[in-house]
Amino acid sequence: MSRHMAYFTDLVTSQVPRYIVLGTALIAVCIVMMYSLATLIEVQPIGWPRYHMNLDPPPFLVKSNPEISHVLYYNQPEWVSGKEFDGCQYPCKMTSGSANFSFAKFVIFHGPRLNSKKPPKKSSGQVWIMHGMESPPHYWSDLSQWNHLFNWTFTYRRDSDVFSPCSVFQHTPRDITPSVEWKTKDRSSAWMVSHCRTPGKREQYVKGLRKSIDVHVYGGCGTYRCARSKEKSCMEILRKHYRYYLAFENSLCVDYVTEKGFKTYSFSPSTIPVMRGGSNYSLFFPPGSYIDTKDFETAFTLGKAISMNESVMDNTSDLFSWRKYYAIDPNIVHDKWCNLCERIHHAESYKRLYSNVKSWLNDNVRSACKSPRDLK
């Protein structure tokens, strides 16, 4: 067989020019190389897909289940259940107490109940979070001993690292007719209160208000009774009988808006809230849906304006138009904790330290809390 092959090769080379043989060999080599390259990059023949169909997403798009972040609440108040992180997109688990304090990566402190004693020793790498929904006058300590310790704040203040309002509104257009119940009510104003002496001196303001308008005071500071444990029944009394509700804060502090201001919108939308506090209420409530005491020189002049509205009965329709566009967000309480949990999972992106948390709490730039100037 080898002799025949050799003979054939000699015959070809003797009768065909050498440049044709070399050219043919070169073409053959090119074809082999192109085929090999096509095999490597998996280019398909004409009519087939030009690119390899890899159905597996790239690694950076694959969302792995993050590990649970354990959070210790050092001095957990009774109104924090410990289950606030349940159902959050990022998993966090809360424990309470000081037993494993030094081993905790994330520690929450309830700011209002911190005392003036020396703080516990902070372990390297720990993230301390100051949580508080009370105004500065209600803190047990001025926090002067807690400087250079807190990394984040979690409060009602809008400049907190994690903003935690009592409630918020969501824009929800609805086909609804603003309430007409207001005109059928038989009582003027109600005030439900349990603390009779406050830094904002709201009790004195109400005393002046009652000189020009009838105010029924419920709770320990008045003559009318409605148990706080039966909030819905109290709000039902408000809905049926009262045209106005006094949502007066105990302190006149920046951004300090408690549940008082939101209650009427949820439970008695046919009642007009009258706000008194240190906040810019336009940042929290639907425009034109409330009365702000700041717009009146004295409590007496506010009372006269309310009396005039009640006698006319037709100048209040705009105060209820918010019902067609806004509603209380029912998930805000849970969402604010989930926001904190998400931040915990991305702690490396939020490094900071409060060198003077006392100064921040009292907001020396804006004067966080002010003395009342409307008690004339």
Quick one: how far is CA 84 from the chain centroid?
A: 13
Please tell me the predicted confidence (pLDDT) of residue 351: 94
Residues 6+ apart with CB under 8 A from 70: 92, 93, 95, 104, 105, 106
**Structural contact between residues 198 and 250, judged by C-beta atoms closer than 8 angstroms:** yes
Q: Where are the domains of the chain?
A: 2-40, 69-166+338-362, 169-328
pTM of full prediction above 0.75: yes
């009510």: which residue's tokens?
185
User: Using 50, 70 and 90 to split pLDDT, how confident is the model at 11?
Assistant: very low
Residue 43 has pLDDT above 50, yes or no: no
Residues 287-315 have pLDDT tens digits of 999 999 999 999 999 999 998 877 655 55
Please tell me the predicted confidence (pLDDT) of residue 374: 94
Backbone angles phi, psi at 61, to 5 degrees: -95, -10
Burial class (CB in 10 A: 0-12, 13-18, 19+), 72: buried
Q: Are domains 69-166+338-362 and 169-328 of this chain identical in fold? A: yes
Please tell me the predicted confidence (pLDDT) of residue 41: 47
Report in angstroms the alpha-carbon separations of 264 from 28, 48, 168, 271. Answer: 88, 67, 13, 6
Strand partners, 109: 130
User: Using 50, 70 and 90 to split pLDDT, how confident is the model at 70?
Assistant: very high
CA 245, CA 228: separation in Å to the nearest integer? 16
CA 334, CA 342: separation in Å to the nearest integer? 13
Residues 6+ apart with CB under 8 A from 251: 135, 136, 137, 138, 198, 199, 200, 277, 278, 369
**CA distance between the termini of the chain:** 125
Residue 358 has pLDDT above 60, yes or no: yes
Q: Which CATH fold would you assign to the domain 169-328?
A: Rossmann fold (3.40.50)
User: Using 50, 70 and 90 to split pLDDT, how confident is the model at 367?
Assistant: confident
- Any idea of the CA torsion for 163, 170, 256, 336, to the nearest 10 degrees? -30
Residue 253 has pLDDT above 50, yes or no: yes
CATH code of the domain occupying 69-166+338-362: 3.40.50
- Calculate mean pLDDT across residues 3-18: 49
Alpha helix stretches (DSSP H) within the chain: 2-15, 18-41, 202-209, 231-241, 260-267, 299-312, 332-345, 357-362
Nearest Cα neighbor of 340 from 167, 166, 162, 164 is 162
Nearest Cα neighbor of 89 from 331, 329, 327 is 331
Would you list the DSSP string of 159-183?
TSSEE--S--EEE-----PPP-GGG
What letters, b where the CB count within 10 A reaches 16 and e where it falls short, cover 83-110?
Answer: ebbeebebbbebeeeeeeeeebebbbbb
Please tell me the predicted confidence (pLDDT) of residue 30: 63
